Structure 1
């Protein structure tokens, strides 16, 4: 397996690019890339070129997360301005505006069925769930807070939800917390199941395996400079991958389930061979921390290959071919 740099777009945004997500292809367009930036905009990119298709200026503060609906027709963006904007990908028209208290909407993700939009609830230490038919808040899954037995334990009892990931069947959701723990919920029953332990610093990014036989495997990226691989059902740590010299800000899994990519504040991207449990390649093209990496769908010209996109504080977007 390998990554080959195809193109980098310098000054893709006017400020740091914090988030990226692929929009699935439709009958009207090929797969597209969504990016969100500190410059308060969301941009839509055609990787063929690559070229910017349109700019969304609906937010008034930095955009911390973008997410695409499985249909490829709608997308959502979350900002520090406390709003989630849901919009039509084709024409940029606003479909819904979801308001939340300050610091209570961070990473977004639609469930595989497209019926629910989830958001890491930040200071509320919860996962917010909105129904995508009427865009109403249908649940708030609360992370249990340990009781502080001593005054010095009060800081430890405070939690903050940073990241979310849906299981492939859409029945469970994982939530990464500032204290390094990962909370697993049963969504249909609105029930907390258990925590996954192992990290010692904030969990910035989560993704479940795309391999059919490994659907309970969960990958987590943390400020402790490690990537951990968990069995989310058995509550066990399968392995820990180390190599980055600083925070690991993002993790994503390839469509074939054989590799993961990570982006770090050490300015690098690493491609990890999951069978070997080792880094197969290190990409050093960015000049500042890499906030997000995102694998695209298989290429029509070669189903064994796909695109990988990365975004960075250096304002650039890079596209790679994963083979």
Structure 2
């Protein structure tokens, strides 16, 4: 397996790029990429070219997260302006505006069924769930403090929720926090199940395995420089991988579940072979920290291959072919 650099868009935004997510293909459109930036905009890209299709200017502060609905027709963006904007991908028209008080949204994710939008709730130390039919808040999953830990000082909110991921069946949610813990919730019962421990610093990115036999496997990326692989149901750490020389800011898993990619503040993108449990490739196309990596769906022309996108503080958007 390898990543082959395809193209890079210099100055893809007017400021740092913080987030990226693929929009699934529809009858009218191939898979597209959403990017969000500190320049307050969301942009839509066709990787062919690459070509910029739309610029979305619905926010008044930096965009920290973007997420696409499984239908490929709607998407959502969250900003430090305290709003989530839900919009039509093709027309850019606003469908709903969800209000979240200051720093209450740091990462967004639609569930696999498309019925619920989850938001890692920042300073509220919670995951908020909205239904996608009426866009009503339907649940708030509060992140409890791990047993044995003293309450944090008032000046530092160690329970700040940074990242969120849905299990493939949509029954569970993982939430990564500033204190290095990962909380697992039962969604139907709105109930906290258990913590996954092992990281010593903030967990900025989570993703469940895409392999059918590994649906309990959860990958995490942390400022402590490690990528952890957990059995999220059995509360066990399967393995820990390291190699980045600084914070690991993002992790995503390939469509076949055989590899993960990571982005780091050490300015590199790394490809990891999960059987070897080691990095097999280091890509250095960026000149500043890499905030997000995102695998696209299998290519129609070659189902064993897909695209990977990465975005960075260097304002650059890069595409690679994974095969």
TM-score by length of 1: 0.98
1:138 aligns with 2:138: yes
Counterpart in 1 of 2:190? 190
Change (3 A) 1:211 1:136: same
Counterpart in 1 of 2:317? 317
Instruction: Answer whether contact 1:183 1:195 (CA < 8 A) is retained.
Output: yes
Counterpart in 1 of 2:206? 206
Deviation at 1:150, TM superposition (A): 6.5
**SS at the partner of 2:180?**
coil
1:243 aligns with 2:243: yes
Deviation at 1:157, TM superposition (A): 7.6
1:39 aligns with 2:39: yes
Deviation at 1:151, TM superposition (A): 7.8
Counterpart in 1 of 2:274? 274
Q: Deviations over 1:149-191 (max 9, x none)?
A: 8687667884110000000000000000000000000000110
Deviation at 1:144, TM superposition (A): 1.2
Distance across 1 between alignment mates of 2:148 and 2:270? 39
Q: Runs ≥4 in structure 1, deviation > 6 angstroms?
A: 147-157
Structure 1 stretches of 5 or more lacking a match?
A: none
Q: Deviations over 1:124-155 (max 9, x none)?
A: 10000000000000000011135898687667
Counterpart in 2 of 1:90? 90
Distance across 1 between alignment mates of 2:86 and 2:40? 15
Distance across 2 between alignment mates of 1:60 and 1:160? 23
- The CA RMSD measured in Å over matched residues stands at 1.5
Distance across 1 between alignment mates of 2:239 and 2:152? 32
Change (3 A) 1:91 1:211: same
How does 1:221-300 map onto structure 2 within 5 Å? 221-300=221-300
Structure 2 stretches of 5 or more lacking a match?
A: none
Aligned length: 323
Distance across 2 between alignment mates of 1:54 and 1:100? 25
Instruction: Answer whether contact 2:158 2:178 (CA < 8 A) is retained.
Output: no
Distance across 1 between alignment mates of 2:182 and 2:72? 29
Counterpart in 1 of 2:4? 4
Instruction: Answer whether contact 2:220 2:228 (CA < 8 A) is retained.
Output: yes
Counterpart in 1 of 2:216? 216
Counterpart in 2 of 1:106? 106
TM-score by length of 2: 0.98
Q: Deviations over 1:237-295 (max 9, x none)?
A: 00000000000000000000000000000000000000000001000010000000000
Instruction: Answer whether contact 2:158 2:177 (CA < 8 A) is retained.
Output: no
Q: Deviations over 1:37-80 (max 9, x none)?
A: 00000000000000100100000000000000000000000000
Distance across 2 between alignment mates of 1:153 and 1:248? 26
1:48 aligns with 2:48: yes
How does 1:172-191 map onto structure 2 within 5 Å? 172-191=172-191
